[in-house]
Structure 1
């Protein structure tokens, strides 16, 4: 039963992702990989870690706003 639900969720998310536009920055990101000094820059400024922290922060803010909208909606119904 759980695998069936996971398959349905995977198919739904694949459909949603297929509807989204492609990133306009993919070409620039590919060019950045070829820079020889990028590893040295990442040693002093951990860009990957900063991006992970930023993504976690954005997720927390999005969940907060989603929770507040749902809480207001429930309050209006009751």
Structure 2
């Protein structure tokens, strides 16, 4: 289940360049608070994946639902 869900959720991620010391910013709009910044886009994507995984662990631990993809 998560093997299909995680890539599907990551495909909805939005990335942009911001004025900051870590200029690459990525977020998953359907999961408020799941975001990452870094010096390179590739590393920002990896950090965002790590944040997403941590979000799932916390949701499972506290018995919260994992939101459906695309609403």
TM-score category of the 2 structures, normalised to the smaller one: 0.3 to 0.5
- Of structures 1 and 2, the one with the larger relative CO (CA 8 A, separation 6+) is 2
Q: Which has the higher strand share?
A: 2
TM-score (norm 1): 0.33
